[in-house]
Structure 1
Amino acid sequence: MSIIGDVTRLIEARKAVFPALYIEKNIPTSIINKMLSNANRAPTHKLTEPWRFKVIRGDARARLGNFMSARYKKLYEGNGFSERKFNKLRENPQLADTVIAIIMQRDREERIPEWEEIAAVSMAVQNMWLTASAHGVGSYWSSPALISHLGDFFKLEEGQKCLGLFYMGYYEEEIPVSKRGPIEEKVEWLDK
């Protein structure tokens, strides 16, 4: 098999697998370390390497869920509060074997635009996602509405911003491959 064939199959196999589908099976630390190591190989303009990660396992998952649900209740009680959303925020971290907080560390000198730093972090997450897929680990990048409040939980440093939570777990259910429209509808060739 050619490497391009392997890469193409891996990209095509990558999909969102939600926490409700995870089974109770531990992800080996070696796989998580490989995911993080591969994330560290993402492209980065001016070598700012803006990605930072916080790995949440064990009892810390319940603390995260309790924090998110309590903050949600405080913000939305009496104004659009949803019991379903409250429960989902509390339970999802515990359904996952591992949750990784996706953090961007802004270049202190602001040598490049913030969007480039966000793009670099996104590419790092794509590397993690592909690595997880290669190991049969389901993953999902969640950006909850109260993402701006997660800095309190994670004790973020100056210039850091939480961009989401990366939920991970093994799963048994067959997940359909996500569909994409034809690339021809999204490309214009300028050759004259």
Structure 2
Amino acid sequence: MTRPDPDLPAGVEVQPVWDPLLRTFHWLLAFCVVTTWLLGKFGPANMWLHFWFGYAIIGLVVFRLIWGLVGPRHARFTSFIRGPGAVRSYLGHMFRREPSYWPGHNPLGALSVIAMLAVLILQAATGLVSDPDDYINVGPLASEVSRSTSRAAVGWHHLGALAILILTVLHVGIIAFYRWWKREDLVRPMLTGAKLVRRRDER
């Protein structure tokens, strides 16, 4: 039996949670999403760099979908996607001023993961078929859909950018909430892989 660490709260231990590939994916995706969004809003008229960062995001999302099926325990969708009951139960004590010590993604965090992946998939799809009629920034698959679809995709792509901004702000806000209200650091585990979690016999 492992002897409890006297420097840790009672019933809590340090566990490896986030594997190196998942951590690398997380930070690369954050960098690519922010850069692509900024290029889309403030970049040059010729958006070739925006396109290439978009292709990188597609590759990262494909990796995450595969890793969610075959990766380590905490990376798998089956380990953190829960039903409405689990979400309600978590919300019931989320605002207590104490760390959750949840292993992996909590039920609410799982919803944010799925929401971000879904929005990024839709954003990539609309970007690939968009035709803004400027003869420069035409998606590589625009010719494979109808003219009305490629034109409508431009508007959908702009809406997707807004959705990504909202999700990103919420993500950062929740991290700050956990840090300052619940006194739980969610950033360090995504850097080191190790997280403070409640021991199994204490759950």
Larger Rg: 2
Q: Tell me: higher relative CO, structure 1 or 2? Use CA pairs within 8 A at least 6 residues apart.
A: 1
Higher helix residue share? 2
TM-score by length of 2: 0.24
Higher strand residue share? 1
